[in-house]
Copies of this chain bind each other. A is one copy, B any other.
Amino acid sequence: MASSAKPAYQARLDARNGKHTGPTANVAPGHVQANLAILPRALAADFLHFCQLNPKPCPLLAMSEPGDPSLPRLGEDIDIRSDVPRYRVWRNGELVDEPTDIRAYWRDDLVSFLIGCSFSFEEAMLDNGLPVRHIEQGCNVPMYRTNVPTERAGPFGGPLVVSMRPLKAADAIRAIQVTSRFPSVHGAPVHFGDPSLIGIADINRPDYGDAVEIREGEIPVFWACGVTPQSVVAAVKPEFCITHAPGHMLVTDWLNSRVAVL
């Protein structure tokens, strides 16, 4: 098939066919990857409103029609039931399964939300010669629940979750410029410096992901994080919901350069 030569499409086919069941970091470099939340139609309008009110943690790239597993806006022939390498299935807030395919769970009332992810701006940071510590250290980005509230919509609300990358001041200034170009993948940081000002008690004990080294002269810089919608959905404990497994994203046909506003 001619299209199979396209790296993003090939990545989705590999997920679909069970050839790739791992994290998608460094898969199809240059392509936008997306966080996934699938909710019953009854909750979809409120969740959409929540994304609209909180664009920094929840930059919505696309949503599906109820029951429709395709996402033509994001790529050719996407089947959201199979094209993510690993899923998490939740019932009443409890994790019940981590399958590589959700065809068995599919329902006609399910709506898929695809939300921008920091992989895109991290690529831009690396392209600009900026260090990304958790990539250097080969671990997950550290993430923290803050005391900064999100804007509530229906049952959805709760604290902002942020990711952290330590940078020297001059690099932080450049990183603010670089990531400002990517508003649809979290954009500019929301905070830097003193973690206690946003309710983080211990920078060395992230709530999600792994702690990373902060070196002499470096400042922690915090970006709104796509884990926010997941933690918000988890708090609501919907009767049914599906997300991607952490780090196992949907690889879209979009180029990162396409989501740069400048």
Contacts and interface: CB of A to CB of B under 8 A. Distances in A.
Interface stretch (A40-48, A65-73, A165-173, A250-258): A165-173
A94 interface: no
Contact of A192 (B172, B180, B189, B217): B172
Interface string A185-206: 0001111111001000000000
Given A173-B188, A173-B192, 15 more contacts: A169-B192, A169-B194, A169-B197, A170-B190, A170-B191, A172-B192, A173-B176, A173-B189, A173-B190, A176-B177, A177-B177, A177-B188, A180-B180, A194-B217, A262-B262
A169 B219 CA distance: 11
A194 B168 CA distance: 11
A172 to B, nearest CB: 7
Contact of A217 (B169, B177, B188, B197): B197
16 contacts: A169-B194, A169-B197, A170-B190, A170-B191, A172-B192, A173-B189, A173-B191, A173-B192, A176-B176, A177-B180, A192-B219, A193-B193, A193-B219, A194-B217, A197-B217, A262-B262
